[in-house]
Amino acid sequence: MSMPVRTEAGAEVRSPLAAEIERRRTFAIISHPDAGKTTLTEKLLLFGGAIQLAGQVKAKRNRKTTQSDWMAIEKERGISVVTSVMTFEYGDHVFNLLDTPGHEDFSEDTYRTLTAVDSAVMVIDAAKGIEARTRKLFEVCRMRDIPILTFINKMDRETRDPFDLLDEIEKTLALDTTPVNWPVGRGRDFTGTIEVQSGGVRLLEGDAGKAGTLREMSILEVAALNPSLDASAIEGEFELVREACKPFDLQAFREGHLSPVFFGSALKNFGVGDLLDALGRFAPPPRDQKADKRVVHAEEPRMSAFVFKIQANMDPNHRDRIAFARLCSGKLTRGMKVKQIRTGKSIALNAPQFFFAKDRSVADEAYAGDVVGIPNHGSVRIGDTLTEGEDLNFVGVPSFAPEILRRVRLPDAMKAKKLKEALQQLAEEGVVQVFRPHDGSPALVGVVGPLQLDVLRVRLMDEYGLEVSWDVSEFTLARWISSDDPKTFDTFVRSNSSSVADDLDGDPVFLARNQFNLDYTRERAPGIAFADIKDVK
Ligand code: G4P
């Protein structure tokens, strides 16, 4: 870690590097489709001045289930590239908002993106409470103890009881809650919010004003603004909130045990300012990152980063790609040379990019916590660690065992070599996993959701001129295999050669026909570990 500088009087002065890093907030929004992620993203960007008008964040269409919608947005790849990460400044902070695909078929991408954030905002629809996908994404955050802020959205519509919603979060997610503000009225009667700590009131006025100025008003005065409100009931409810709810505890939040809760309406831009202020005040600056050899501290002067996402570039005729790298420590300057640990090669970062809502620009410098795009022609892969020379690998960018396996059928056998190359490239991009059986039979592709197969087929056609279809495979499950004892491992691989394949990195997987076949094999091979998640090195 960089040494703290002290003045003569002994006060600690942060180094300029530490100060830059400390003001970074890198986060994602997790939610079930339709809870309001896109609307909230847009309003956050409006605050940050990254966009001028609402309606510019189009990434939401990614979630629509039909193939044609997905393909249409893929054609507008420019938009999906730039919305992968959105950087904006607000107050004293630099925010990096990492987008996660809405559709669950692309959940692997989402899980990887969550390895690159320091906190998350969980958006909940006030009428629906915790929904399936929210819970799943929350669990991924919990695995990494990512602190969560909760935004209960759509308070301008009919909602469930706010106490009920808090109770549901506490019970179903085992997460303590502290309401930061409390709604006055709901649905048509939603009039504003009261800050629990200060008692300050924000009113929903006209088009909701920007953030809604904080006013000193009594509950009676607020209630008088709306004849349908029952002032004494509101007073009673607020008393209860003050008595019953836990006080905010920064440490519990930072450790992922407690979530500050905001009630608001993204559509009406209400509560969004409070949320953004809280992200600045409470959410952690760039965290320490675990590497294989040691823990890397964000404020170390030497730059290090890992790649968590690859996106093909806009022009399908060139195999240009953008690798999204999260900086873990130090400072990146344009033109610097970094070592790619997997290959040992040196890469010059001549045109690292920053992303805003609709634009990107060349980054002259970036700091730990930031996400930069590194244009490349396929040399950089998901999971790659980049450093200024030190040999270490960040751990924890996962690969998930596919849920669907298919054999690729290629009518034109002359194009087999081209198919091999194409699959290799698309697998490096994280579009699909490819498994090459040891017995020489045709490669299998593996995906998490069926929509990924559609995307793969169309991209093989559009970008490589390859017309393929899928054959159902005799295998339905894949598990990464390993053993502490090389001999046991060799014997296993040899005696199961028709069911063993190598993944993209040459790591062996066992292919099982079904769960029974997997369990049966596992029982008979005690020295072999079967894993459904692999840490990408
Ligand atoms: P998502 O990205 O999480 O899927 O949700 P999105 O923001 O697209 O919001 C889903 C729908 O909910 C949208 O309506 C949006 O306008 C609405 N919405 C979001 N926040 C609020 C809110 O605070 N209050 C109310 N009343 N509605 C909200 P839609 O009709 O499906 O789409 P659109 O045609 O309005 O874009």
User: What are the pLDDT digits (tens) for 370-424?
Assistant: 999 998 888 898 899 999 999 999 987 778 888 899 999 998 888 999 999 999 8
- To test ligand 1's pocket by mutation, which of 53, 267, 269, 275 has the most ligand atoms within 8 angstroms of CB? 267
- To test ligand 1's pocket by mutation, which of 29, 38, 39 has the most ligand atoms within 8 angstroms of CB? 39
Ligand 1 atom 14 nearest Cα:
34
| pLDDT for residue 317 | 58
| pLDDT for residue 85 | 84
Ligand 1 atom 31 nearest Cα:
34
CA distance 303 to 300: 8
Ligand 1 atom 24 nearest Cα:
154
The gap from C-alpha 43 to its chain's centroid, in whole angstroms, comes to 19
- Which domains are delineated in the chain? 30-81+119-282 (3.40.50.300), 289-387 (3.40.50.300), 398-535 (3.30.70.3280)
Question: Counting atoms of ligand 1 from 1, which one is nearest the CA of 41?
Answer: 7
Pocket of ligand 1 (CB under 6 A): 31, 33-39, 60, 102, 153-154, 156-157, 265-267
Per-residue pLDDT of the chain (537 residues; tens, 9 = 90+): 444 555 555 556 678 999 999 999 999 999 998 999 989 998 998 887 765 555 545 444 444 344 444 455 455 544 444 457 888 889 899 999 998 876 666 677 888 899 999 999 999 999 999 998 899 889 889 988 999 999 999 999 999 999 999 999 999 999 999 999 999 999 988 999 999 988 888 888 754 445 567 788 888 888 888 888 888 888 899 999 988 888 899 999 999 999 999 999 999 989 998 999 999 999 999 999 999 999 999 999 999 999 998 887 555 555 678 899 999 999 999 999 999 999 999 999 998 887 765 566 777 889 999 999 998 888 898 899 999 999 999 987 778 888 899 999 998 888 999 999 999 888 888 889 999 999 988 889 999 878 888 888 888 988 899 999 999 999 999 999 999 999 999 999 999 999 999 998 899 999 999 999 999 999 999 999 999 888 655
| pLDDT for residue 10 | 54
| pLDDT for residue 206 | 57
Tokens of 331: 């400072």
Tokens of 397: 């960018």
Ligand 1 atom 17 nearest Cα:
36
CA distance 112 to 433: 15
Question: Counting atoms of ligand 1 from 1, which one is nearest the CA of 63?
Answer: 4
CA distance 51 to 88: 10
Residue 117 CA to ligand 1 centre (angstroms): 25
Residues 6+ apart with CB under 8 A from 218: none
Residue 10 CA to ligand 1 centre (angstroms): 52
Question: Counting atoms of ligand 1 from 1, which one is nearest the CA of 264?
Answer: 23
CA distance 20 to 255: 23
Please report the DSSP string for 373-404 in residue order: EEEESS---TT-EEESS----B--EEEE--SE
Residue 208 CA to ligand 1 centre (angstroms): 16
Ligand 1 atom 32 nearest Cα:
34
Look-up of token digits 């808090």: 166
Residue 222 CA to ligand 1 centre (angstroms): 28
What's phi and psi for 309, nearest 5 deg? -160, 145
Ligand 1 atom 11 nearest Cα:
34
Q: Coil, strand, or helix at residue 493?
A: helix
Instruction: Give binding residues for GTP as ranges.
Output: 31-38, 99-103, 153-156
Q: How many CB atoms lie within 10 A of CB 261?
A: 25
Query: Are the beta carbons of 162 and 182 closer than 8 angstroms?
Result: yes
Residue 358 CA to ligand 1 centre (angstroms): 21
One-letter amino acid for residue 529 of the chain: A
Residue 38 CA to ligand 1 centre (angstroms): 8
CA distance 189 to 223: 10
What's phi and psi for 155, nearest 5 deg? -70, -15
| pLDDT for residue 331 | 95
Task: Read off the pTM.
Answer: 0.85
Instruction: Give binding residues as ranges.
Output: 31-38, 99-103, 153-156
| pLDDT for residue 196 | 92
Question: Counting atoms of ligand 1 from 1, which one is nearest the CA of 102?
Answer: 4
Q: Is the ipTM of this complex over 0.85?
A: yes
| pLDDT for residue 356 | 65
Contacts 24+ apart (CB under 8 A), 156-161: 156/187, 156/188, 156/190, 156/204, 156/265, 156/267, 156/268, 156/270, 157/126, 157/127, 157/187, 158/127, 158/186, 158/187, 159/126, 159/127, 159/186, 159/187, 160/126, 160/127, 160/128, 160/129
Residues 6+ apart with CB under 8 A from 277: 91
Ligand 1 atom 21 nearest Cα:
267
Q: How many CA atoms lie within 13 A of 151 on its CB side?
A: 33
Ligand 1 atom 25 nearest Cα:
154
Residue 49: in which H helix or E strand, if any? none
